[in-house]
Chains A and B, each alone.
Chain A
Amino acid sequence: MRVVVCVKQVPDQTLIKFNIDTGSLNNIHYIIDPVDETSVSEAIKIREKNGGEVIAVSLGPSRTEEVLRTCLKMGADKAIHLCDEIFDNLDVYSVSTVLARQIASLKYDIILCGRESMDEGNGFMGAGIAEWLDLPLVTSVTRLDVFADTMTARVHRRIKGGDREILEAPLPAVFAVESVLSKPIYPPLRTILAGLKKQIIKVDSQSLGVDKNTLQPLTSILSVSQPKPRLKKTATIDSKLTAHERMKLLMSGGAQQKSSKTIEKPPQAAVADIIQFLITHGIISR
């Protein structure tokens, strides 16, 4: 099985901050997108079972090498870095066309990517690549079983309320995976050292045959601003409250008015009330 994994370098979400004074994002520490780490882990597990190779592909400026190095250290066989001036600031649509072009020049059976990246979270990449390469696509994959003899994959797809849909896809195919798919692997030291020595293959627009004019964006980010506080259902502030409590409410952006019901009854009667409450709110029906 030849597995191509699309990886992305993203700013660590837990650290990044929006600076109101400068109007830009601060404290940016780049990491490999956690969901892509999952994909690489899964790809390596597939290779261990069925043989073949794992190729990591990433598009981005020179710092993207770091995530590709991470993939090599995890045990990927090859890493391809799509790096060019004209690749800077592309929208998700253009990135998917460039990635698809690169993947088309490789030999592949399975293409893995994250269902949604941690930074922008468009959730488009899988669909884009599948469309350009005319391949089957399954999104929200939580389990992936590959059958090398029949060249098919049986996949579990997340649907509502923890339910799963089981689908069969002929290979080659694109899978947009969820981070629960696979536990991260801990490679042995030998693999890590070998990963440090491997070459990262650089590909620029010329060798890929991509022209600047063909990269027309479909969406464009005009600005990045401070997040708006989430809208809350605010009622007029209760005049019965003390000044101190009213101030607190105003500063926290208002209070959600709840008609809380307190019941102090013996268990049997209290339970009857709960059941009535659940019925009126449509949670259960008689």
Chain B
Amino acid sequence: MEDKGRKNPQELTPNPSSVSVESKGVWFIAEHKAGQLEKTAFLLAGEGKALSTKLGEELAAVIIGSKVKHLADQLSPYGVEKAFIIEDELLEEYTGDAHVNVLSRIVKSNKPSLILFPTTPMGNDLAPRIAARLRVGMIARYTEIEVDREKKLTIRRPIHGGKATATVVTLNKPLIATIDTQLLTVQKAPQANNVQVIETGVKVDPGSIKTRFIDYKKADPCAVCVSEAEIVIGVGKGLSCAENLKAVEELARILGASIGGSRRATDERWISDERRIGLTGKNIAPKLYLICGISGAFHHTLSIKSSQLMVAINKDKNAPIAKLADMVIIGDMQQIIPELARQLKETLK
């Protein structure tokens, strides 16, 4: 199938003269939070290792922050060979200006061939900035990188919202690429190795920071859009009347969850229309989806498949949702929800 599309390549042909040969090394940006590496760092390490083995180049992590040197060791089971440490107090919080300032300088002096970013708010902001600063090509949300015998990279990425796949090449190095970390799984290298820590000593040029940080606004979990929330509670026909939503709301506050629902729940005006999950509503991908009194019609389940963990509460054990959920509780949500709220309160105390 793939080859059929290749018969009509577009006019633009690669210009080999702009490919620099000396660039070596696969880098990835290791995100961290509160003195711990984020999971995306390990996911990218696994992806980076696979690519660096194919290319025969070494794998290096880039850790940017204020006190981050100690984080490098955590990457040793993943086959990371080097870790570039950029430490500066101005890098405590993520600011695009400061990060691009330091990162572009160490990229220029070390010349990697490929830099991977996660598709997190940080990666989505930093990757295009660094590509623009270095005047190099950027590929967003790639799904596959192919390495041929001459070590040339061919990249595939979805376009038109996944309706087609584009095969892309970049014409100079380093290649800046972002990958959806949800597509990856944590992969440890066969052998752990010592991570060589390289302290770059690069400091932020304070003049480069153009925007000023004012404040964080922590989201009210109940008010958050269902597609953004980490925990979602879905309600359906089993709610039976608007009155019963109070118990669900209390549970949502305890869990820090956003409330969504099936078409039935929005049609009955139990919840507002923008909280509808399903074919005519929103797609969700939370860490936990608690499904209360939704039988699991196709129109609903279509939009919930990316949820990491699904717990269903339903009276009917033959409901389609039972096949999909990781845990199914057979029972009445009217009794279970208040009980769950009560016990959770005790557990979390």
Contact = CB atoms under 8 A, between A and B. Distances in A.
B10 interface: yes
B325 interface: yes
A18 B210 CA distance: 43
A220 B171 contact: yes
Interface string B324-343: 11111111100110011001
Interface in A196-253: 216-228, 231
B330 A262 contact: yes
B169 A220 contact: yes
Interface stretch (A42-50, A70-78, A125-133): A125-133
Interface in B307-336: 309, 311, 317, 322-332, 335-336
- Most chain A CB inside 10 Å of its own CB: which residue of B128, B139, B215: B128
Nearest to A233: B185
Interface in A127-152: 127-128, 130-132, 135-140
Interface string B190-203: 00000000000000
A286 interface: yes
Interface in B123-145: 124-125, 127-129, 131-133, 135-141, 143
Q: What is the interface of chain B mostly: helix, strand, loop, or mixed? A: mixed
Contacts of B330: 262-264
A11 B160 contact: yes
- Most chain B CB inside 10 Å of its own CB: which residue of A91, A118, A258, A260: A260
B4 interface: yes
B21 interface: no
Nearest to B159: A120
B216 A219 contact: no
A160 interface: yes
A137 to B, nearest CB: 7
B328 A161 contact: no
Contact of B165 (A227, A231, A271): A227
Interface string A53-97: 000000000000000000000000000000000000101110010
Interface string A159-201: 1111111111110010000000000000000000000000000
Interface stretch (B57-65, B224-232, B239-247, B294-302): B224-232
- Most chain B CB inside 10 Å of its own CB: which residue of A126, A154, A170, A263: A263
Interface stretch (A1-9, A19-27, A103-111): A19-27
B124 A162 contact: no
B12 A138 contact: no
B7 A124 contact: no
B52 to A, nearest CB: 22
B326 A220 contact: no
Nearest to B10: A221
A18 B8 CA distance: 14
13 contacts: A93-B138, A120-B166, A158-B121, A160-B121, A161-B224, A161-B229, A168-B212, A219-B170, A220-B171, A221-B12, A223-B5, A223-B167, A227-B163
Interface of B: 1-2, 4-15, 18, 96-97, 120-121, 124-125, 127-129, 131-133, 135-141, 143, 154, 156, 158-172, 183, 210-219, 221, 224-225, 228-231, 255, 258, 287-288, 309, 311, 317, 322-332, 335-336, 339-340, 343-344, 347-348
Given A121-B141, A154-B214, A162-B258, 6 more contacts: A23-B4, A140-B124, A169-B211, A219-B168, A220-B170, A283-B309
8 closest Cβ pairs, A-B complex: A225-B5, A162-B224, A162-B219, A127-B128, A218-B137, A136-B210, A131-B132, A219-B137
